[in-house]
Chains A and B, each alone.
Chain A
Amino acid sequence: MTLGTPRLRPRLALALAFSIAAVLTAVAAPAFADATAPAAAPAPRTYRFGDWPPDLSKHGAELQGLYDKILYVTGAVFFLTEGLLLFFLWKYRAQPGKRAHYSHGHMGLEVGWTLLPVVIFVVLGVTSADMWARMKDRNLFPKDAFTVKVTGRQFEWLIRYPGKDGLFGTEDDYETINDLHVPYDKPVRVRLTAQDVIHSFFLPELRVKQDAVPGLETEIWFEASRAAKTEIACAELCGLGHYRMRGSVTIEPLPQVLNWIQTEKEDE
């Protein structure tokens, strides 16, 4: 191999790597282009780099706050470590006549950088514990919630409303498929199970996710903040139709929800 002088080679390699990447992309692009079909639905909102889906929930802000806190801590660690890495690579690159510094480490540093992460991580853990308990401990769920039962099955969501009496298993229960209507400004409690395999009930814009497991009743709750239309997705691989196990969610004022349940029930 006699390409370039030894000092030029790394740069040459980098340049070649970039050009191969560019050529491959250029060659591939036309093939990609004719395969690009218009997406099924036109984009309903403007999207900016790194956006979360729109937040329709009341706890979303707190969740995102926790995310931001972790982002600041990990972001600082990221810039610190990667920055030092790059700096050291430049500062300590091999230079003629310069010998490496002979050292096996430093006890104080070791202790310091062991204890510091422990403290930071445990604090992060403890900070998360409270919100987690409120989200998932049934004993702490709000008492006067609007409750629905949702059963996952290949590849649809069976939704059961208790009707006027607020009790399940009575005459006025109403069952639909993939059509969830819930109120806003009122806690909604979802009692989940599955009929066949494991599914996962995911409301991206309401910031909740909970597996629906056959033989088990799991629960999740949320409170919506405004009227909107959104979707249920399945987040656990459940078979061939997993990707299209989609339901719709209508968020509207409570009287409208109750009204809708009643008229649908009467139409049956």
Chain B
Amino acid sequence: MESAPNGHGHDHGHGEDHIHPPPSNFLTKYVFSTDHKVIAVQFFCMGFTMFLVGGLFALLLRWQIAFPFQPLPFGLGKVIYASAPGNTMPPESYPTLVTMHGTVMVFFVIIPLLTGAFGNYLIPLKIGARDMAFPLLNMLSYWVAVPAGILIIMAFLTEAGGPGAGWTSYPPLSALPQASPGSGTGQTLWLLSIFCVGWSSIMGGINYLTTIINLRAPGMSLTRMPLSVWALFITSVLQVLATPVLAAASILLLFDKLLGTSFFLPAGVNVGGQAIAQAGGGNPLLFQHLFWFYSHPAVYILVLPAMGLVSDIIPTFTRKPIFGYKAMAYSMAAIAGLGFIVWGHHMFQAGMNPYVATSFMVATMVIATPSSVKVFNWLGSLYGGSIRFTTPMLCCLAFVSMFIIGGLSGVFLAATPVDIFFHDTYYVVAHIHYVVFGGSVFGIFAGLYYWFPKVTGRKMSEFWGKVHFWLSFISFNGVFFPMHILGIGGMMRRIADPTIYQHLAPLQSWNVYITMFAVVLGFSQFIVIANIAVSLLRGERVGENPWEATTLEWTTASPPPYYNYLQIPTVHHPPYEFSVPGMESDYIVQSAPPRSA
């Protein structure tokens, strides 16, 4: 597989490579566009908007935990809980807020931002293609995600109550409206939304795979692909193989809800003394197996692309090739492969056979290895470098250092006896936020600051970038580090009022502390929004390659033309050739002419 595919640029059935003119109609240019760059920006806008929505849910949750059933500050309760008595959180809102926060952040923020926005923008540019292999499919994958977003908001606003069974939505709770008001229409809309967003993911994945396999520029062999492309390739494999299982689980759950089947409902269930209508005979754990068969790989869908972005950015700012390119690619493949046999670690306490749990534990311990290999290679990439502390680099360093913490806390959870105590406590909440916020979100910030000049032709303010970075980094740790302490103290996840428990009462001041930092963390995000807005209009104009980077996207104009490259580039160099001895310039772009032997 060393040779690059078809030597003459892309070829869609009618021979010669040629350049299409950009669409002139507003609708096909900006709305129903098939241009991967426009679709990427659309995904970004949707993902970032949802980031604010998910963040608002988080702040409301944090307020409730720190000050249970107390009115919101500054009279905000009159707006947010306008119809509730006393304008405070009604008790039934809490599970809905938890559910919405998790769902929005996983399915509508991280996945669309990483694969939808960065994946779409970068893949064709980085492999030297004019667009995705299937531009129409690409457009469709966005226009399926939009109704999914609308459905999830509708689910939230359902009159009887929004879905309240967690982002994991375990039945019977999620199946029975008698058990929770949100499990009626709200949950049905939730399932439809997840089904749609799953389709979007599958369509995106297929397109990315086809594009990366077939549309690489001449000379772009697999081992010359930037690691971000490797990461997105492996992520796409996960999306294509795992998401159908989520779709199956949601369909079966919909059947249980709407058609009276009992895939996940055992016999003899009754709610409040009333027997349910379904006959029973199913098994609630079946849903958990299906859900985690998807969702464990999905947590890697949430982080692999960010690993790729970071691996692309670090060499640029250390002026040094990435350490262990092949190890980096193999370890991502190993994570993806092993990712399919560890799902049971989410179910250690669910009632599985304990020896099955043991084998899941061993597999989980093994999957920590490729993650450590990646960390060591990032450290190796810093070694001997000439490090430039730009905002994107700071975000990458945050990614690496926070991912270390999240990976290490995973080891405690993987040890089955320790998980007896930590399962479903704040220790798990701390773990997921160190990997997903500390990891993926900082990876997204890194990508934003780094590629913004490519997308818009203007640089973002470094100064305000650093303010945003430091505020986010400090308050992130202020919020999530103490959650380990709460977990060790035995605080359960998803509880609306910890103060009523004798073992939690002494921990309450931590909850107040966390909430204060959460407010800072939340409001810091307005800085990046303002930075984007102001930089769009007044940012410093840049040329093709403001960071002096080596990969192909930096060889075309900023912003790139509709057709990406006037002439499809030919690749002669590995992706990260920095500081090559004996050369005057300290970097060689991938398409530079070969050095005479």
Question: Which A residues form the contact surface with B (CB < 8 A)?
Answer: 1, 3-4, 9-10, 12-14, 16-18, 20-21, 24-25, 28-29, 31-32, 35-37, 39-47, 49-54, 63, 66-67, 70-71, 73-74, 77-78, 81-82, 84-85, 88-89, 92-95, 98-106, 109-110, 113-114, 117-118, 121-122, 124-126, 128-129, 131-133, 135-137, 154, 195-198, 200, 202, 204-205, 207-211, 213-216, 218, 230-231, 233-244, 246
From A44, A99, A131, contact of B319 by CB (8 A): A99
Are B173 and A234 in contact (CB-based, < 8 A)?
A: no
Mask for B394-419, Cβ within 8 A of A = 1, else 0? 00010011001100110110111110
Are A135 and B417 in contact (CB-based, < 8 A)?
A: yes
Mask for B373-391, Cβ within 8 A of A = 1, else 0? 1011101101111111100
The chain A residue with its CB closest to the CB of B92 is A240
From B181, B464, B520, contact of A21 by CB (8 A): B520
Q: A52-B490, A100-B386 are in contact. Are A128 and B418 (CB under 8 A)?
A: yes
Are B417 and A234 in contact (CB-based, < 8 A)?
A: no
From A20, A44, A110, A131, contact of B327 by CB (8 A): A110
Cβ-closest 8 pairs across A and B: A215-B266, A101-B384, A31-B73, A13-B466, A17-B470, A47-B506, A204-B490, A105-B324
Q: How far is the CB of A261 from chain B (nearest CB, A)?
A: 24
From A53, A102, A106, A124, contact of B411 by CB (8 A): A124
Task: State in angstroms the CA–CA spacing of A46 and B253 once bound together.
Answer: 47
Find the residue from A31, A44, A88 having the highest chain B CB count within 10 A: A88
Q: What are the residues of chain A within 8 A of B424 when measuring CB–CB?
A: 200, 202, 209, 235-236
Are A85 and B397 in contact (CB-based, < 8 A)?
A: yes
Task: State in angstroms the CA–CA spacing of A66 and B414 once bound together.
Answer: 12
Q: What are the residues of chain A within 8 A of B270 when measuring CB–CB?
A: 195-196
Task: State in angstroms the CA–CA spacing of A99 and B386 once bound together.
Answer: 6
Are B500 and A135 in contact (CB-based, < 8 A)?
A: no
Q: What are the residues of chain A within 8 A of B265 when measuring CB–CB?
A: 214-215
The contact sample of 10 A-B pairs, CB cut-off 8 A, is A1-B461, A17-B470, A20-B471, A20-B524, A32-B516, A100-B578, A110-B327, A117-B373, A133-B355, A209-B423
From B181, B318, B425, contact of A92 by CB (8 A): B318
Are A132 and B485 in contact (CB-based, < 8 A)?
A: no
Q: How far is the CB of A202 from chain B (nearest CB, A)?
A: 7
From A10, A17, A200, contact of B389 by CB (8 A): A10
Q: What are the residues of chain A within 8 A of B489 when measuring CB–CB?
A: 47, 51-53
Are B463 and A35 in contact (CB-based, < 8 A)?
A: no
Are B369 and A237 in contact (CB-based, < 8 A)?
A: no
In the complex, B561 has a CB within 8 A of chain A = no
The chain A residue with its CB closest to the CB of B460 is A1
Are B349 and A242 in contact (CB-based, < 8 A)?
A: no
Question: Which B residues form the contact surface with A (CB < 8 A)?
Answer: 66-67, 70-71, 73-74, 91-92, 94-95, 98, 164-166, 170-173, 176, 179-181, 265-272, 280, 282-285, 318-327, 349-351, 354-355, 357-358, 361-362, 365-366, 368-369, 372-373, 375-377, 379-380, 382-389, 397, 400-401, 404-405, 408-409, 411-412, 414-418, 420-421, 423-425, 461-464, 466-467, 469-471, 474-475, 485, 488-490, 492-503, 505-508, 512, 515-516, 519-520, 523-524, 540, 578-581, 586
From A154, A202, A242, contact of B95 by CB (8 A): A242
Q: What are the residues of chain B within 8 A of A129 when measuring CB–CB?
A: 358, 361, 416
Q: A13-B466, A233-B501, A243-B495 are in contact. Are A101 and B320 (CB under 8 A)?
A: yes
Q: How far is the CB of B369 from chain A (nearest CB, A)?
A: 5
Are B384 and A100 in contact (CB-based, < 8 A)?
A: yes
Task: State in angstroms the CA–CA spacing of A67 and B413 once bound together.
Answer: 10
Task: State in angstroms the CA–CA spacing of A21 and B467 once bound together.
Answer: 10
From B318, B471, B492, B512, contact of A202 by CB (8 A): B492
Q: How far is the CB of A15 from chain B (nearest CB, A)?
A: 9
Q: How far is the CB of B139 from chain A (nearest CB, A)?
A: 37
Q: What are the residues of chain B within 8 A of A4 when measuring CB–CB?
A: 463
Q: What are the residues of chain B within 8 A of A117 when measuring CB–CB?
A: 368-369, 372-373
Q: What are the residues of chain B within 8 A of A131 when measuring CB–CB?
A: 417
Q: What are the residues of chain A within 8 A of B269 when measuring CB–CB?
A: 195-196, 214-215
The chain A residue with its CB closest to the CB of B363 is A125
From A20, A29, A215, A244, contact of B467 by CB (8 A): A20
Q: How far is the CB of B50 from chain A (nearest CB, A)?
A: 22
